[in-house]
Amino acid sequence: MSSAPAPALSVLDLVPVRAGQTSAQAVAASLALVQRADELGYRRYWFAEHHNMPAVASTTPPVLIAAASTRTSRIRVGSGGVMLPNHSPLVVAEQFAALEALAPGRIDLGIGRAPGSDPVITQLLRMSGTTSDVERFPEHVRDIMSLVSAEGASVQFSSGGTYDIHATPAATGAPEVWLLGSSDYSAQLAASLGLPYVFANHFSGEGLERALALYREQYRPSEAHPEPVTFLTANAIAAPTAEEAEERALPQLRMMARLRQNKPLVPLETVEQAKAAASEFDGIGQQIMAGSRAKWFVGTGESVRRELADFAARYKVDEVMISPIAGAYDDETTDAAAGRTQTLELLAG
């Protein structure tokens, strides 16, 4: 039995959409899930940004955060993350300043640099001039940090004079800004800005150790964060039996195989559909599924809690953000997420 202390737990939600489920039902299921996470004592709950994917309804984190904030009272709610090159920094700052006013002291603004979709959708999202300039990402992060502060930001005119800008007229607090990424670049940028940082371990896990080392070694203390602040993300499924947990993993595993092989994406299968189509993938697809499964935390509540504690201790963090990826059975209601709710309940102890 592990002697590692249990880390604080948080949740990352992509608002999955399964076969036969509408977007409205998927959102309703996630809002019920964030309420349950709040009741169970989870630390924070973040919504991702992905576009034009049949199995993912988390296209607009600020909208989902607003809805979640009104249904919760304690848990921090935020973005995991806003894909900044898709948006104007001022618009992001205004949205999150408004969210901070809606739920003071509970808003996290996680910012990422990836597109969150395919090249066509990325082009449609980035039809607003300099917003699409990925090379200006560090500048835009700094702009947002200034804009959401009580002091605001200033524009310096080349002809002389300044123009003051505030994301909200009279801020009494600001969202906590986090930098997200899956590369050395993001880790080093977060370190240089003195920002909290999260490596997207749930997506691939490649490069985690190096990214954390770079972040910690190169960290420049800031007023808000004198020490580096980071946690881990992980895909997790917990069920009363290991057999059920493995079954609930099948739909997401098959989705990963489709994604990695550039096959057409579909709504998330139910467990029964996934089992019935088990022979669909060849050796490469099976290898992708096996590789993904090896990095996930799947089993009983007790076994997954123990593995997450060991995982956190190995990388010296006190928090793990789980993406509860449990699939659904055919007979489970479409306006709730029984498997994902069960995962949160079992992991909360």
Q: Which residue has the higher pLDDT, 128 or 25?
A: 25
pLDDT value at residue 115: 62
CA distance 281 to 301: 30
* Run of H or E including 44: strand 44-47
CATH number of 8-347: 3.20.20.30
Kindly report which listed range (53-67, 81-95, 159-173) carries the lowest average pLDDT score: 159-173
Work out the pLDDT band at 130, boundaries 50, 70, 90: very low
pLDDT value at residue 205: 76
Q: Report, as an integer, the average pLDDT of 1-25.
A: 91
Q: In this model, does residue 127 exceed pLDDT 70?
A: no
Work out the pLDDT band at 123, boundaries 50, 70, 90: low
Q: In this model, does residue 145 exceed pLDDT 50?
A: yes
Work out the pLDDT band at 298, boundaries 50, 70, 90: very high
Residues sharing a CB contact under 8 Å with residue 8, sequence separation 6 or more, in sequence order: 43, 318, 319, 320
CA distance 111 to 317: 20
Q: Report, as an integer, the average pLDDT of 158-181.
A: 89
Q: In this model, does residue 222 exceed pLDDT 50?
A: yes
pLDDT one-digit tens code per residue, 240-287: 999 999 999 999 999 999 999 999 999 999 999 999 998 888 899 999
Segments in the chain forming alpha helices (H) = 23-40, 61-70, 89-102, 119-125, 137-147, 184-193, 208-218, 242-260, 271-276, 283-295, 301-314, 338-347
CA distance 231 to 214: 14
Work out the pLDDT band at 122, boundaries 50, 70, 90: low
What percent of the chain is predicted at pLDDT more than 90? 77
Write the DSSP assignment of 288-348 as a string of letters: HHHHHHHHSEEEEHHHHHHHHHHHHHHTT-SEEEEEE-----TTS-TTS-HHHHHHHHHHT
CA distance 187 to 196: 10
Peptide bond connecting 105 to the previous residue in cis, omega within 30 degrees of 0: no
Q: In this model, does residue 88 exceed pLDDT 50?
A: yes
Which tokens in the block code for residue 97?
A: 């300043």
Taking the C-alpha atoms of 203, 208, 214 and 216 in order, what is their torsion angle to the nearest 10 degrees?
Answer: 100
For the chain, what is the mean pLDDT? 92
Q: Report, as an integer, the average pLDDT of 319-333.
A: 98
Residue whose token pair is 């299921």: 29
Work out the pLDDT band at 136, boundaries 50, 70, 90: confident
CA distance 230 to 319: 8
CA distance 41 to 27: 21
CA distance 76 to 318: 16
